[in-house]
Amino acid sequence: MTMPTLEDAQALDRADPLAAFRQRFSLPENVIYLDGNSLGPLPVETPRRVAEAVAKEWGDGLVTSWNDAGWVDAPHRIGDKIARVIGARPGEVVVTDSTSVNLYKLIMAAAPLSPGRTEILTERGNFPSDLYVAEGAARTLGLELRVVDRDDLVGAMSSATALVMLTQVDYRSGYRHDIAAMNRIAAGHDVRIVWDLSHSIGTVPLDLGRDGVELAIGCGYKHLNGGPGAPAFLYVAKALQDKITSPISGWFGHASPFVFDARYQPAPGISRFLAGTPPILSMVALEAGVDLMLEVDQNALFAKSAQLFDLFALLVAARCPELRPVSPDDPATRGGHISFAHDHAYEIIQALIARGVIGDFRTPDVARFGITPLYTRFEDIWRAVDILDDIMARKIWQEPQYAVRRVVT
Amino acid sequence: MTMPTLEDAQALDRADPLAAFRQRFSLPENVIYLDGNSLGPLPVETPRRVAEAVAKEWGDGLVTSWNDAGWVDAPHRIGDKIARVIGARPGEVVVTDSTSVNLYKLIMAAAPLSPGRTEILTERGNFPSDLYVAEGAARTLGLELRVVDRDDLVGAMSSATALVMLTQVDYRSGYRHDIAAMNRIAAGHDVRIVWDLSHSIGTVPLDLGRDGVELAIGCGYKHLNGGPGAPAFLYVAKALQDKITSPISGWFGHASPFVFDARYQPAPGISRFLAGTPPILSMVALEAGVDLMLEVDQNALFAKSAQLFDLFALLVAARCPELRPVSPDDPATRGGHISFAHDHAYEIIQALIARGVIGDFRTPDVARFGITPLYTRFEDIWRAVDILDDIMARKIWQEPQYAVRRVVT
């Protein structure tokens, strides 16, 4: 195979059916942004909608906007939109709280469905924050958190397993679980899986109904482009909704929140997983990102993601062979980012950022690059690897300023 | 006493040392807003700061703003500002999640400090949402939630009490607990009180350190004017911080969140009560409201609140005697709102809203009016009661449109 040139990459961009979506984002000049799986960029439409929510809905409408601007419905309205992206039904998704809080709710709610069992099972490579939340929830429930390597997951499921907690797309390697297959295996042990879809939604085609997903959470600020710390989503399949209740029984999850009963009565359906008053300004920004995502065919999106990934992998293999590929080759087993291992991945990422290529570092030695096909061009991939090649060839990453540790890596 | 005239009220406004603060809010024309204890109005400064966070920090800075725009420090930075408003020390307050989630955390964390005890004690008139959250937490902890009338609270504390949960200012009547006195009584039973300060902060002078408060939560969207659903705050006194841990052990509460350890290690100090990624856009709006509150002397604020209240009470007693006062007479035992009971309080409030006077209804029969001295004029009180008088005298509230129930009351 001949090595793709910049002109080849530009030709791919001209043929790209999704190319126009790039104009829908406010991307800074002279930046190649390959970190949309950490924080998605700003949609062009978002500032106007947030400003309107601030000045008109809050400023002019004041408290009446809970009714008149639809604030009170926002968790369900945005949830139903997300449901369309992930193959869920209306009334199966709400937007609320953070992924951590939502994961806690689902573990606490669902583990008691399997009384007498002793373990929550997860994999070592899961999001550290998910492991932390599960550790705390397991302690409260009097269960053990059993953490195993991915290859040992299937063998570890047993009649002792109360709940399995998995992130579909590995935040480091990009490895993607086959949701349907894992759910079938779990069902064989009469156990449920809570899926974290934070690195899946908006990049990998999802069909939770088809794939038998019963419980899931996910992030609003990565591929949904909902803004920094955007509220998260929570999914419970219809059949399960009235069998479980949230440990955090706040008024937004009450059957009649404004009747001000003294006793908690969980709302029917997914509403019971709401807790307190939702942060409306952050919700409004998230909704703009979700609306944009609804315009896109998720299969077309992933097809472009796979093409971008393959170009990236091919160029790095040829030009920067000292970076060891850690992401799966097969598009069916990977998500929306590509990662490479190197002992000095931290410094390499800092040197890239200084040259306008924003990726990120993940301990201990991973350089990670988000492939976000809504706004990433083939040309961007080519130029990013060209800069990476220069940084490696001239050992620019050895300059001392790139070793300085920052708070957020 | 002669009845105060509109001219008398205007004279009070001219003499008001806080009068200039009204210009710092974007209040709609032809509205008398007496619902700042439900949702505070928009500070003039807030739209600019939110717009900057959206366009510059998110749009241009992208993921680097976690460091460069101080996003990662926002929970502590805003928490330390709130600490100055409530007489807490730096490092005793964080801004995070909702009041419901924070209340859940503190109950779950603090009740186990009293092993062998069987009850969480609270009062019947507490926020319904707080009762719901406590009900759920008590169930998880295997404790009973004991709900008594306010007058029976002191007698109900015993060696069976694991934790007391109180809201300082009653959301209906405005009755205000004496925090220091209640803490002393609780300490006599070797039990702690979790205080909900949602209706206190920004209207009633607070000194948590002086008054021996160990655990508290409160709301950002009422008198702090932080915007709809603004994140809440959580306070734990220094001495207690390292003795308790959050049940929701998310990465923002980890000792080293970006090292991505596999095991949870709670951060030292107040940080351990953070959970997931904070909703930055809502945090930015809250910070603008808090910054404004920091300019105001809290004693001067309450002194004006008491004057506004007395004018309201006097005018209603004289002109609308069919409205039964339910708020305490003594300023030392009341908060920042005034309430009246009437069998048709709902319809009366709807008729007032139609005339531009925004108060709110609380079941079963309470018309509630926020006294928010930062932007409420004596003239506003006079005019509000004048309109109320007209609605009562001509029985305008009997018009059928005012009986229509709305989602949020």
> What would the 3-class secondary structure string for B141-162 be?
HCCEEEEECHHHHHHHCCCCEE
Tokens of B183: 């803490």
Q: What is the pLDDT of residues A168-180, one digit of tens each?
A: 999 999 999 999 9
User: Is A221 a catalytic site residue?
Assistant: yes
Task: Determine the pLDDT at residue B130.
Answer: 97
Q: What is the ipTM of this complex?
A: 0.96
- Which residue ranges form the domains of chain A, and what is each CATH number? 6-30+297-403 (3.90.1150.10), 48-294 (3.40.640.10)
Burial of B238 (C-beta count, 10 Å sphere; 0-12/13-18/19+): middle
* CA atoms B207, B213, B219, B220: torsion sign: positive
Task: Determine the pLDDT at residue B7.
Answer: 98
Q: Which residues neighbour B73 within 8 Å (Cβ) at sequence distance 6 or greater? A: none
Backbone angles phi, psi at A360, to 5 degrees: -145, 165
Average pLDDT over residues A89-106: 98
Q: Which residue bears the tokens 């410094």?
A: A347
Tell me whether residues A227 and B285 touch, CB distance under 8 A: no
Distance CA(A82)–CA(A314), nearest Å, equals: 34
Task: Determine the pLDDT at residue A255.
Answer: 92
Which of A202, A231, A235 shows the shortest CA–CA distance to A80?
A: A235
Nearest CB to B62: which of A39, A66, A124?
A39
Q: What is the 3-class SS of chain B, one letter each residue? A: CCCCCHHHHHHHHHCCCCHHHHHHEECCCCCEECCCCCCCCEECCHHHHHHHHHHHHHHHCHHHHHHHCCHHHHHHHHHHHHHHHHCCCCCCEEECCCHHHHHHHHHHHHHHHCCCCCEEEEECCCCHHHHHHHHHHHHHHCCEEEEECHHHHHHHCCCCEEEEEEECECCCCCEECCHHHHHHHHHHCCCCEEEECCCCCCCCCCCCCCCCCCEEEECCCCCCCCCCCCCCEEEECHHHHCCCCCCCCCHHHECCCCCCCCCCCECCHHHHHCCCCCCHHHHHHHHHHHHHHHCCCHHHHHHHHHHHHHHHHHHHHHHCCCCEECCCCCHHHECCEEEEECCCHHHHHHHHHHCCEECEEECCCEEEEECCCCCCCHHHHHHHHHHHHHHHHCCHHHCHHHHCCCCCC
Distance CA(B376)–CA(A42), nearest Å, equals: 38
Tell me whether residues B280 and A227 touch, CB distance under 8 A: yes
Which segments of chain B have a pLDDT < 50?
none
Tell me whether residues B228 and A277 touch, CB distance under 8 A: yes
For residue A262, what pLDDT band results from cuts at 50, 70 and 90? confident
Catalogue the active-site residues of B. Answer: 127, 196, 221-222, 368
Inter-residue contact A191 to A166 (CB < 8 Å): no
Residues A152-183: b if buried by 16+ CB within 10 A, e if exposed: ebeebbeebbbbbbbbbbbbbbbbbbebeebb
Q: Which residue bears the tokens 């349907």?
A: A180
Tell me whether residues B281 and A281 touch, CB distance under 8 A: yes
Which of A374, A375, A376 shows the shortest CA–CA distance to A312?
A: A376
Tokens of A255: 């059957």
Contacts 24+ apart (CB under 8 A), A83-86: A83/A235, A84/A294, A85/A201, A85/A202, A85/A206, A85/A290, A85/A293, A85/A294, A85/A298, A86/A197, A86/A201, A86/A206, A86/A207, A86/A208, A86/A216, A86/A218, A86/A235
Contacts of B232 in chain A (CB under 8 A): 276
Task: Determine the pLDDT at residue B237.
Answer: 98
Instruction: Give the mean pLDDT of chain A.
Output: 96
Q: What is the pLDDT of residues A115-155, one digit of tens each?
A: 999 999 999 999 999 999 999 999 999 999 999 999 999 99
The most distant pair of C-alpha atoms in chain A lies apart, rounded to whole Å, by 72
In the predicted model, is pLDDT for residue A194 greater than 90?
yes
- Containing A269, the helix (H) or strand (E) segment is none
Residue B368 at interface with chain A, using a CB cutoff of 8 Å: no
Residue A246 at interface with chain B, using a CB cutoff of 8 Å: yes
Residue A214 at interface with chain B, using a CB cutoff of 8 Å: no
Residue A188 at interface with chain B, using a CB cutoff of 8 Å: no
For residue A2, what pLDDT band results from cuts at 50, 70 and 90? confident
Tokens of B347: 């319809």
Contacts of B353 in chain A (CB under 8 A): 64
Nearest CB to B280: which of A60, A228, A261?
A228
Between the alpha carbon of residue B161 and those of residues A117, B13, B140, B169, B214, the distances in Å are: 32, 48, 16, 22, 16
Which of B231, B236, B239 shows the shortest CA–CA distance to B272?
A: B236
- Containing A13, the helix (H) or strand (E) segment is helix A6-14
Nearest CB to B248: which of A60, A71, A100?
A100
Contacts of A407 in chain B (CB under 8 A): 66-67, 72, 258
Within chain A, how many helices (H) and strands (E) appear? Answer: 13, 15
Inter-residue contact B194 to B164 (CB < 8 Å): yes
Inter-residue contact A187 to A180 (CB < 8 Å): no
For residue A87, what pLDDT band results from cuts at 50, 70 and 90? very high
Distance CA(A52)–CA(A30), nearest Å, equals: 30
Contacts of B147 in chain A (CB under 8 A): 262
Compute the nearest-CA separation of A53 from chain B (Å): 10
Tell me whether residues A260 and B362 touch, CB distance under 8 A: yes
Task: Determine the pLDDT at residue B313.
Answer: 98
Tokens of B230: 């603004």
Chain B: residue whose CA lies nearest to A407: B67
Task: Determine the pLDDT at residue A370.
Answer: 96
For residue A54, what pLDDT band results from cuts at 50, 70 and 90? very high
Backbone angles phi, psi at B108, to 5 degrees: -65, -35
A/B interface, count of CB pairs below 8 Å: 292
Residue B166 at interface with chain A, using a CB cutoff of 8 Å: no
In the predicted model, is pLDDT for residue A409 greater than 80?
no
